[in-house]
Structure 1
Amino acid sequence: MSVPTPVPAAAGGQAAAAGPPAATAPVTPPSRLGPVVVGLGFAVLCVSWMLNAMDRQVYYPLLPQIREELGFSLSEAGFLATGFTLGLAVAGFVAGFVIDRYARKTVVVGSVLVFSVGTGLIPLAGGFLDMAAYRLLSGVGEGVQATALYAIIGAYFFHKRAFAAGFVGVAFGAGIFLGPLVGVPFSEAMDSWRAPFLLFACLGLLMAVLILVLVPREMSEAVAGERPQAELDAYAHLPRTTLNRNTVVLGAGAALAGVTFYGYLGLYPTFLAEQLGFTPGQRAVAVAAGGLGAMLALLFGWFGDRYPQRVVLMISFVGTAVVAYPMYAVATDPTAQYVLSFLVGAFASGGLFTNFSTALQRSVHPDLVGRGQGVFVLTYYVAAAFSGLLFARLVAGLGWDGAGTLQIVALPLVGAVLMLAVDQKRMIQRV
């Protein structure tokens, strides 16, 4: 895997699209780390995020079995499918302030341990309340991990942060792809839906050890604002507060992206089972196809570093709406669903997730990178937490096709229009 490295001053760095010029010097002091050390550390962080995605993704195709055994209603199942992101959102936002003050590496290791414990407790659930509690606990760990991980990327790979975030998006897509393909067969082999959660909990503990050993602190603790005063002055036009026009607009857009993607993600296997009669194997392939699409985050991140991110976000929103409509209203053939799921994963995860997270970092002063990421985690995942419940309620009133058209098609179009309000001049941009 090719790993981005910090861009030296001669490479041009980043600048605002218009208005005051942006600095072009290195973000951190010259690194003494070799490419192998950086590559290995970055790879471990990416794999930890892949495991995170596998852990959360295996829940969805197993939800019909969990629902049948524990007697959950569709609304309860919908909330459990996506409600864990409420813990992810709140913890992730708070973590934005914590990691601006404490070692990011320590925070990442602790977060992996927390979500592993939460995952390991899920098999003990006997009803809605304790299942919800365990899911929320795993979400807390995942939220802190998300904020710390993207803050590391935003600081160390400052000039190519969207491209670097694309690698993390690829890892997330790989987790979505592999989660059902590993978890569902493992569940069938062990004759229990509980088995995959125990497996991923153990792998999480192992991953915490690998991060502790293999991720160098020179990488994890890089400081985005550590530059000569003259170069810091070049960023004077950037807001020194987390509350400004762009964070409000982009935060609202991130919320729409969260409702859209997790609305699809949380109940898509249930839609395939109850509306289209797909087999467990077909459902697993359809969900995995979305993960393959999400791996295009690397391409969308490359676009986000080279073109105005509001344009990339608008295209991603419109693309999501265009491909989601036939998914819920037209296509009944497995092959068609596989293709459409791939495309929804590409636009809604690869495009929207990758560029919202980095656009919010670019909307605040470089030394507030953790808080900018915290705004993304809060807005995206609070909305995502209720997306499954909302989708279930819409299904009850409008049917699967009506619910899909309203939540997965109409809301992205609203998001595309909202991006017109982003002030590109008040963001750090690559030239």
Structure 2
Amino acid sequence: MTTNVATVPSTGARVATRPAIAFFALLLLAYSVNAMDRMVFPVLLSDVRAEYGFTLDQSGLQSTMFALGMGITGIPAGIAVARFGRRRLIVVGTVLFSVATVLTVVSVGFADMLAWRVLSGVGEALQLAAIITVAAGAFPRHRGLAIGAVNMAFATGSVIGPLVATALLVEHGTWRSPMIVFGLLGLVLAVAVLVLVPLRFTEVGSPERVVETADSRHRGGAGSVLSWNPMLLAVVTVLFGLVDFAYIGLYATFLREHLGFTPGQAGLAVSLSGLAAFASPLGGWLSDRLDPRLCLALLNVLTAASAAALFLGPPTPGWHAAFSFLFGLFASSGMYVALAGLLVKSVRPEIAGHASGLFITCIYVAAGVAGYLLSRMVTLLGWNSAGLIQIAGLSLVGAALSVLLRPALFSSIAAPGKEAS
């Protein structure tokens, strides 16, 4: 029987360094399995489509509908984190996406499979909002770095997952095999988190464990996500979602259909962008140390410059491989991590979960329309103009908005001796 968060004494006790890192590593492993599930389904989609007779449009919806689940659940997930506790939400989220993964293999048609894909996104939103909040609470001196580690865990799963799925597909001859394996692995990790990760680690900084003092009231951070800094960061996050997911969704199509790249050449460029996500802790480190205005403005400008190079540069595989890597470095490892970290820092610790949920909703609602918006502009203006306007142009708008942030209103680091690490 688990202990309710509210009954845990507000002693302020923290977990020692090595156990804290071990507990955090287990949470990251659970998130990596989530990444495996998300990246595996598109790899298996051709087999799914052949069996069920889905059209190309239907297949595309099945592949991306997790984003809808994440988008509609983000803000409620942030509220639930504060209400029900972080560990509980991590376990519930892990169970939800794992069960949805297993249920996908028994789908009878398009509608119920689509429902399972949406449910997997709901589970991921619950899990991610809670893990980001844990990272910020357990490692307050290095919140950006810890959140960067979360993104790196996703990158690890996205690399390992397709490789393992392909091996299982070849071994067993059915797309259902990897889905069942990853689903069951997620359930095992949910139990491991429940049994092995203590509340004194996951709930650090939660409302029930915060004792307000005169000092804590002056450490900064807004008391509501509706304040200036959180709302401005939310707008910048929406813009970034329109940038990053437009690239993720259609850049490979641009290479193959407009520039005439082979599948192997296009795949190399895209994979190098994903490889850059392993530098996510560096993006978090920058957000911990730089003025938030400078950090976001710089990363946005570098993202815009990389995008401009992709759409204006020579149509050679080497050029696109290099600048695709740089785009991933500045966008996935930089902007994504910095925005998540700064949104958490923009509010008081007791509502960090609200900020995490706001980040998830903003970026994944934008993700749901990013590809459609770019495709419409491509039809009207052509690939180069559309890419420059949406991917490079919106990044520059984000850079301009970033300078309007108020650094003095961000929460400061914890007092010495108050951190798990």
Same structural fold, with TM-score higher than 0.5 when normalized by the shorter chain: yes
Equivalent runs, 1:187-206 vs 2, <5 Å: 187=169, 195-206=177-188
Are the aligned partners of 1:294 and 1:347 in contact in 2 as well (CA < 8 Å)? no
* Cα pair distance change 1:228/1:428, threshold 3 Å: closer
Between 391-400 and 370-379, the greater mean CA deviation after superposition: 391-400
Deviation at 1:241, TM superposition (A): 1.6
Deviation at 1:34, TM superposition (A): 3.4
* Cα pair distance change 1:193/1:343, threshold 3 Å: farther
Residue 428 (structure 1) aligned to one of 399, 402, 411: 411
* Cα pair distance change 1:197/1:330, threshold 3 Å: farther
1:149 corresponds to = 131
Deviation at 1:419, TM superposition (A): 0.8
SS of residue matched to 2:142? helix
Are the aligned partners of 1:85 and 1:382 in contact in 2 as well (CA < 8 Å)? yes
- What CA distance in whole angstroms lies between the structure 2 residues aligned with 1:134 and 1:73? 19
What one-letter code is carried by the residue in structure 2 that aligns with 1:137?
L
Residue 103 (structure 1) aligned to one of 80, 85, 101: 85
1:164 aligns with 2:152: no
2:67 corresponds to = 85
What one-letter code is carried by the residue in structure 1 that aligns with 2:153?
A
1:48 aligns with 2:48: no
Instruction: Give 5+ residue unaligned stretches, structure 2.
Output: 1-9, 415-421
- What CA distance in whole angstroms lies between the structure 1 residues aligned with 2:190 and 2:263? 32
What one-letter code is carried by the residue in structure 1 that aligns with 2:203?
E
Are the aligned partners of 1:82 and 1:384 in contact in 2 as well (CA < 8 Å)? no
- What CA distance in whole angstroms lies between the structure 2 residues aligned with 1:266 and 1:274? 14
Deviation at 1:39, TM superposition (A): 1.7
1:387 aligns with 2:370: yes
What one-letter code is carried by the residue in structure 2 that aligns with 1:120?
V
Number of equivalent positions: 402
- What CA distance in whole angstroms lies between the structure 2 residues aligned with 1:34 and 1:338? 43
Q: Deviation digits for residues 253-276 of structure 1, max 9, x if unmatched?
A: 011111222222233444455445
1:314 aligns with 2:297: yes
- What CA distance in whole angstroms lies between the structure 2 residues aligned with 1:161 and 1:135? 31
- What CA distance in whole angstroms lies between the structure 2 residues aligned with 1:389 and 1:65? 25
- What CA distance in whole angstroms lies between the structure 2 residues aligned with 1:123 and 1:283? 30
* Cα pair distance change 1:339/1:119, threshold 3 Å: farther
Q: Deviation digits for residues 51-94 of structure 1, max 9, x if unmatched?
A: 222322234455567667744345x5555544421211221210
2:336 corresponds to = 353
- What CA distance in whole angstroms lies between the structure 1 residues aligned with 2:263 and 2:180? 21
Between 43-52 and 332-341, the greater mean CA deviation after superposition: 332-341
SS of residue matched to 1:405? helix
Residue 298 (structure 1) aligned to one of 266, 272, 281: 281
Residue 20 (structure 2) aligned to one of 32, 38, 44: 38
1:21 corresponds to = none
Between 391-400 and 159-168, the greater mean CA deviation after superposition: 391-400
1:207 corresponds to = 189
* Cα pair distance change 1:382/1:368, threshold 3 Å: same
Q: Deviation digits for residues 16-71 of structure 1, max 9, x if unmatched?
A: xxxxxxxxxxx97242x333321211111112222222322234455567667744
- What CA distance in whole angstroms lies between the structure 2 residues aligned with 1:242 and 1:99? 15
Are the aligned partners of 2:255 and 2:266 in contact in 1 as well (CA < 8 Å)? yes
Are the aligned partners of 2:292 and 2:405 in contact in 1 as well (CA < 8 Å)? no
Deviation at 1:343, TM superposition (A): 1.8
* Cα pair distance change 1:240/1:205, threshold 3 Å: same
Q: Deviation digits for residues 234-284 of structure 1, max 9, x if unmatched?
A: 23x542122011111100001111122222223344445544566665555
Q: Deviation digits for residues 280-316 of structure 1, max 9, x if unmatched?
A: 6555544432222112111111111111122211121
SS of residue matched to 1:58? helix
Between 334-343 and 271-280, the greater mean CA deviation after superposition: 271-280
Are the aligned partners of 1:113 and 1:205 in contact in 2 as well (CA < 8 Å)? yes
1:260 corresponds to = 243
SS of residue matched to 1:422? coil
2:392 corresponds to = 409
What one-letter code is carried by the residue in structure 2 that aligns with 1:247?
P
Deviation at 1:366, TM superposition (A): 2.0
Q: Over the residues paired in the alignment, what is the CA RMSD in angstroms?
A: 2.9
1:119 corresponds to = 101
Residue 216 (structure 2) aligned to one of 232, 239, 245: 232
* Cα pair distance change 1:228/1:414, threshold 3 Å: closer
Q: Deviation digits for residues 84-134 of structure 1, max 9, x if unmatched?
A: 212112212101111112121111011011111222334455765444322
Between 297-306 and 316-325, the greater mean CA deviation after superposition: 316-325
1:173 aligns with 2:155: yes
1:58 aligns with 2:40: yes
**TM-score w.r.t. length of structure 1:** 0.83
- What CA distance in whole angstroms lies between the structure 2 residues aligned with 1:239 and 1:262? 29
* Cα pair distance change 1:177/1:365, threshold 3 Å: same
1:140 corresponds to = 122
- What CA distance in whole angstroms lies between the structure 2 residues aligned with 1:167 and 1:417? 28
Instruction: Give 5+ residue unaligned stretches, structure 1.
Output: 1-26
- What CA distance in whole angstroms lies between the structure 2 residues aligned with 1:387 and 1:396? 15
